[in-house]
Structure 1
Amino acid sequence: MVPGARVVVVGGGIAGLTAAFRLQQAGCDVVVVEQSGPEQIGGRMNTTTRDGFAIDNGATLLLSSYHEMLKLAVDVGVADQVLPTGDIFGILWNGAVRRLRSGDKRALLKSDFVRGLNPIDGGKVAVDFLRMRSKLGWDDMTATAAQDFETVREYCLRRGLRPETYQFLLGPFTSGPALADPEEASLVSAFFAFNTIVVSGGGFTSADGVGFLPRALAARISVVHHARVTSIETRGGGAVVTWTHPVDGETVQEASAVVVAVPPKQATPMCPGLPPALLDYFRHVKYSRAVHVAFGLDRPTRESSLLLQIPKIEHPTLAAFVMEHNQAPRRVPAGKGLVMAHLRGGWAVDNWEMDDDAVVEHVIGETRRLGVLPEIEHHATFAEVVRLPLCTVIRRPGEYRYAARIAPVLRAQAPIHFAGSDYLGQSSTNGSLVSGERAAAAVLKGLRR
């Protein structure tokens, strides 16, 4: 225990909230400084409500491989809110949906999806995936540096894989979770997504959406909302954090340690005293933009899958649909449906300024063209457009080698510590949570010294 030590956490996403909660458990005096209001707590793990529906504004799927998240839910006292979800995933293949059950390995191997892939290709991908799997860390992927030298597309060409393996297997697992084109993204990204989604075997949710956990954490710690951090400086073995508030004005807070839990690009102006190599690395990080539409339905869809992936060869604009009502019976109001339509990252960049009504009409029209989910057009009671300017990090070939070189510099900045999977890993909610846990442990180790 380190009673009384003052720690400032910058950022109220799942990484910052997790770090703050663990530090408070250890006896620290903790305050979280968050730029947004209470309604946006959780960052990319935020949920809002409309017409009785809980709408996830960033992450929509929590997977059974998120062991650290499930443990945190127990420690926070909200394990009773956790609901197990279905494990049926679908992919559109030549106009028809092929489904697989990730929780049943035998059924997975016998599924229409797996049987549609060339067995030789499947063997090559499986061997390469298993070689890399042990190096796929949640918040730190620098162990994959040696394998991080080619895009998904380049890997398929080098291994002599058939076009359908690229189009229906590795491509969707890059453009869906990472919102990145497989011609740009590192192979590591595809294997990370494959590991978390297919191999995980189902997932979990709550009746209140993914935001149930960030809200529970925020209710147990001190959070200053609508505060913008202007500088973080080291001083005398500790740190000084300065922030401004529209009502309280400027606050200058001395602290024993600081946890910076915001995207690297946002951390750069806050910490001008960091080594130039680290600031250059932060500026190099590239983010996807996300535009997706929540459709509240007066009935569930006939489609039974939890996630329906749309390969680019099937449609250039739509990336995936998440059927929230197929997660758990209590996830949406009884007898209703909720579909999240996700557009491709490249489309989001090119059409970022498009009017919300035009986005909705585009999704409805293109979904009609695909011949799937007719309920979106005929049974929607509302449609809400959600935009994330900094969604997920697009890891390009060589970035994990870059991260491996910079990691020792990043970890040597105490009393300033960095939390979030965007720094050294692949963007994910559980990765950010794990990073928050590690940042808290590093702070406590330093304080006990």
Structure 2
Amino acid sequence: MADNHPILHFLAPTGAPGRAFDAEEQAVLDRLNQKVAGESSLDDLLDLLFQGVRELYPCDRIGLALAEDEGRRIVAQRYRALYEPVLLRDGYHEDLAGSSLQRVLETNCARVIYDLPRYLAEHPRSQSTRLLIREGVRSSLTCPLRVKDRSVGVLFLSSREPRAYTPYHVQLWMELAERLSQAVEKAWRIEQLTAANQAYNEMLAFVSHELKNPVASMITDARVLTGGYLGDLEPRQIQKLDRLIEKGNYLLDLVREYLDLARMEGGHMVLRPEEAPLGALVESALDVVQPLAEARRMRVERHLPPDPAPVACDPSLIRIVLVNLLGNAVKYGAEGGLLRVTVERHPDRIAFAVWNEGPGFPASERTRLFRKFSRLQTPALQGRKGTGVGLYTAWRIVNLHGGRMDAQSQEGAWAEFAFDLPQPLPSPQA
């Protein structure tokens, strides 16, 4: 299919002339086809393409634009140019309805504009053409990017010379089109996922941080009332306030877990190892869960090594791990049951274990552990609140130390969560 318009030419893939490429052109095409698939970022992909394309085409500028909003608009994403200033920059967008670009995307035709000033005279509403002319561009080749039956976007090749592109240049493009289109879509999706994950982490941290202080303040106010500091209360009033405090503590635990997760996934949780006193590390974690353990009438046993030697770790992070494991043992353990903390030294590592009497979990559910937002699906644990965030964060912290975490259980009897840390810790380079 060809349009003999003196300014504008559309050429479908099947309409390209069948002229054979010379050896140098074929070598460049083969090299680009081999390399584009390995690039995972749009910037690296465009750098590679700009360098290679200039061996095949007259090209002073290359631009990548992607279709958005179900093909209703086109948005500039990246460009490379041999000149300054560049006026049509990343983020520029135009609606596609009624434009010649719409035809490129819908029909998979390449578009050749031989003379941009004349094209602008006939299409005065084209702001992108106006900007390119101000940059000194005089002709362009627009190449469609298509993956199977989906239009991904377009690649613009621009020259500061008029009539720089011919149908033969379209034929060259068709040799790159399929693999390059796939590489562009892959890199774009990776960037979108990265941006979405960053936004998720920022939202998680913001919401968790904003909830933390009000919830803690509510708990403090309730304790002031139950303590009688503002006058005596009736037993029913105290009972209601105790339930409010319990629910507030649950919310505060959730906030802490999500703050830890946001720090970890946002890259803000950095290992700062030191030699920490083992006994103080364990006791500081037990202090956090002791009130709840007493409320559930649980007996707590400690089995620590007599050797007072310190443990190499980041104590603030390992405290998060221990608080999580101890908190789960209290939350999911049997009321009035036993909770046991064991620490053992080995020649090359130190091992921690938290054991509790309780419903445990079946072996079939073990694979759900230590995965983000994953919760055990067992009848015995129904109605017991959890998010699947704490264990995942604990696993990440132990992994950050170069250690390992595991869990064992006898369903209906007990559960044990354990982790070990190498001693000494591996170097950051390792």
Normalised to the residue count of structure 2, the TM-score between the two structures is 0.22
**Per chain length, whose mean CA-contact separation is higher, i.e. which structure has more relative contact order (CA < 8 Å, sep 6+)?**
1
Question: Which structure features the higher share of helix residues?
Answer: 2
Larger Rg: 2
